[in-house]
Amino acid sequence: MRAVYPGSFDPITLGHIDIIKRISNIFDEVVVLISHSAEKQSLFTVEERMKLIHEALKDIKNVKVDHHQGLTVDYVRQAKAKVIVRGLRAVVDFEYELAMGNVNRKMAPDIETLLVNASPEYYFISSRMVKDIAKNKGDLNGFVPKHVIKPLQSKFAKSMNKGGKK
């Protein structure tokens, strides 16, 4: 069975990777789906995110990376998957993910949403928090894969140079 794990992955974190590794042991194939959101301004381009994700997951054989603009349920149907996987970190995530799962179920009753709890050691990590650490020149070890650190720091170094002081 194929599952789709959608998100912005801007950038991919160790929390994302933990969930992907765990669900790759359950499903025959996992599609890590970079979703485009008009509401979010991405730091990395889709191509950059795909490259970073491919590198992070290169040792997991049953994982594929793709991107999509539009409704996730439309992609899931097209991919002939039956499950959308979403990660849960906190109570706030639960409320949002429960609502989203119910909306998806209303649109596509044949597609299930599986909520996977973040492992305790990654419970607090979010892409937004990681970007804030990078923006303020903090230590990113333990938050993102090693190969993501330099591109992340570079994005903020470029924006600081363009914006002047900081």
Q: Which residues are catalytic?
A: 16, 40, 89, 127
Asked whether the beta carbons of 127 and 10 are under 8 A apart, the reply is yes
Q: Are 2 and 82 in contact, with CB atoms under 8 Å apart?
A: yes
- On the CB side of 20, CA atoms within 13 Å amount to 27
* Length of the chain measured in residues: 166
If one counts every other C-beta atom within 10 angstroms of the C-beta of residue 111, the result is 18
